[in-house]
Structure 1
Amino acid sequence: MSRFLLKNWPTIFLVPFFFFGTALSQIQIHSKVTPDTLAPGEKGIFFVTIRLPKEIHLNAESGLFKVEPEKNPQIQFQKPQYPAYIKTASGPIYKDSIQVAIPFQLKKGIRSGMDSLFVQVTLQKCSEDQNVCYFPETFRTGARVVIRPLSPQTGPKGISEKLAHALKKGSGLAFLIAFLAGLLTSLTPCVYPMIPITLAVIGAGASGSRWSGFFLSLVYVLGIGITFSTLGIIAAKTGSLFGSFSNHPVVIIFVSLVFFAMGLSLVGGFVVQMPGRLRAGLGKTSAKGLWGAGLTGILAGLLVSPCITPVLVVILTWVATQGSVILGFGLLFSFAMGLGVLFIVLGTFSGVLKTLPKSGAWMEAIEKGLGILLLAFSVGFFQRILSPFWAKHLWAVFLVFLGTFLGAFTSLERQSTTKQKIQKAMGVLFVLWAFFLMYSAFGERKEALSPKFQAEHFSQTNGWIRSEWVAFEEAKRTGKSILLDAYADWCAECRELEKKTWPDAEVQSLLRNFVLLKLDFSVGEDSTKALQKKYKILGMPTMIILSPNGEELGRTTGFQPPEKIISFLRTYVPYN
Structure 2
Amino acid sequence: PWTLLAFSAVFVALAAAMFGFYELQLPAFLRDRLARNSPQGGSLAGAAGMGVLSAVLVGPCMTAPLAGTLLYIAQGGSAGEGGLLLLALGLGMGVPLVVISTLGARWLPRPGAWMNRVKAAFGFVLLGTAIWMAGRVIAPQATLLLWGVLLVALALSLWHLAHGNAAGESGPAGRLAVRSSAALAGLWGAAMVLGAAAGASDPAQPLRALVATSAAATPAQAPFETLQDPALLQARLAAAAARGQPAVVEFSADWCTSCRTIEREVFGDPRVGQALEGVVLLRADVTRSDAAQRAFMQQHQVMGPPTLMLFGPQGQERRAQRLVGEFAPDALLERLRMEGGAS
TM-score greater than 0.5 by the shorter chain: yes
Cα-to-partner distance string for 1:371-424 (whole Å, 9 max, x where unaligned)? 43333333323322323122112223322432343356x9969xx856678756
The whole-number CA distance in structure 2 between the counterparts of 1:473 and 1:249 is 37
The whole-number CA distance in structure 2 between the counterparts of 1:532 and 1:381 is 25
- Structure 2: which amino acid aligns with 1:382? A
Could you tell me how far 1:475 is from its partner in structure 2? 3.2
Could you tell me how far 1:517 is from its partner in structure 2? 1.8
Aligned twin of 1:384: 136
Decide whether aligned partners of structure 1 residues 432 and 496 sit closer, same or farther in structure 2, where only a CA change above 3 A counts: closer
Decide whether aligned partners of structure 1 residues 510 and 429 sit closer, same or farther in structure 2, where only a CA change above 3 A counts: closer
Could you tell me how far 1:573 is from its partner in structure 2? 2.1
Could you tell me how far 1:435 is from its partner in structure 2? 2.9
Matched, 1:484 2:249: yes
Give unmatched runs, 5+ long, in structure 1: 1-247, 281-285, 316-331
Cα-to-partner distance string for 1:208-236 (whole Å, 9 max, x where unaligned)? xxxxxxxxxxxxxxxxxxxxxxxxxxxxx
Matched, 1:572 2:339: yes
The whole-number CA distance in structure 2 between the counterparts of 1:277 and 1:517 is 59
Decide whether aligned partners of structure 1 residues 536 and 258 sit closer, same or farther in structure 2, where only a CA change above 3 A counts: same
Decide whether aligned partners of structure 1 residues 495 and 442 sit closer, same or farther in structure 2, where only a CA change above 3 A counts: same
Decide whether aligned partners of structure 1 residues 514 and 439 sit closer, same or farther in structure 2, where only a CA change above 3 A counts: same
Matched, 1:373 2:140: no
Which one has the largest radius of gyration? 1
The whole-number CA distance in structure 2 between the counterparts of 1:372 and 1:259 is 10
- Is residue 308–residue 538 contact of structure 1 (8 Å, CA) maintained in 2? no
Q: Pairwise mapping of residues 315-394 of structure 1 onto structure 2 (< 5 A)?
A: 338-339=88-89, 341-344=91-94, 355=107, 357-358=109-110, 360-394=112-146
Matched, 1:552 2:312: no
Q: Pairwise mapping of residues 396-545 of structure 1 onto structure 2 (< 5 A)?
A: 396-407=148-159, 423=178, 426-427=181-182, 429-444=184-199, 460-467=220-227, 472=237, 475=240, 479-488=244-253, 494=259, 497-498=262-263, 502=267, 507-525=272-290, 528-545=293-310
Decide whether aligned partners of structure 1 residues 499 and 462 sit closer, same or farther in structure 2, where only a CA change above 3 A counts: closer
Decide whether aligned partners of structure 1 residues 440 and 542 sit closer, same or farther in structure 2, where only a CA change above 3 A counts: same
Aligned twin of 1:3: none
Q: Pairwise mapping of residues 260-279 of structure 1 onto structure 2 (< 5 A)?
A: 260-272=12-24
The whole-number CA distance in structure 2 between the counterparts of 1:340 and 1:497 is 31
Q: Pairwise mapping of residues 43-122 of structure 1 onto structure 2 (< 5 A)?
A: none
- Is residue 513–residue 573 contact of structure 1 (8 Å, CA) maintained in 2? no
- Structure 1: which amino acid aligns with 2:332? I
The alignment-based identity, stated in percent, is 21
Q: Pairwise mapping of residues 215-226 of structure 1 onto structure 2 (< 5 A)?
A: none
What value does the CA root-mean-square deviation take over the aligned residues? 5.1
The whole-number CA distance in structure 1 between the counterparts of 2:215 and 2:95 is 46
- Structure 2: which amino acid aligns with 1:535? H
- Is residue 465–residue 471 contact of structure 1 (8 Å, CA) maintained in 2? no
The whole-number CA distance in structure 1 between the counterparts of 2:305 and 2:132 is 19
SS of residue matched to 1:463: coil
SS of residue matched to 1:524: coil
Give unmatched runs, 5+ long, in structure 2: 33-37, 39-49, 202-207
Question: Higher strand share goes to which structure?
Answer: 1
Could you tell me how far 1:463 is from its partner in structure 2? 1.9
Question: Higher helix share goes to which structure?
Answer: 2
Q: How many residues align?
A: 298
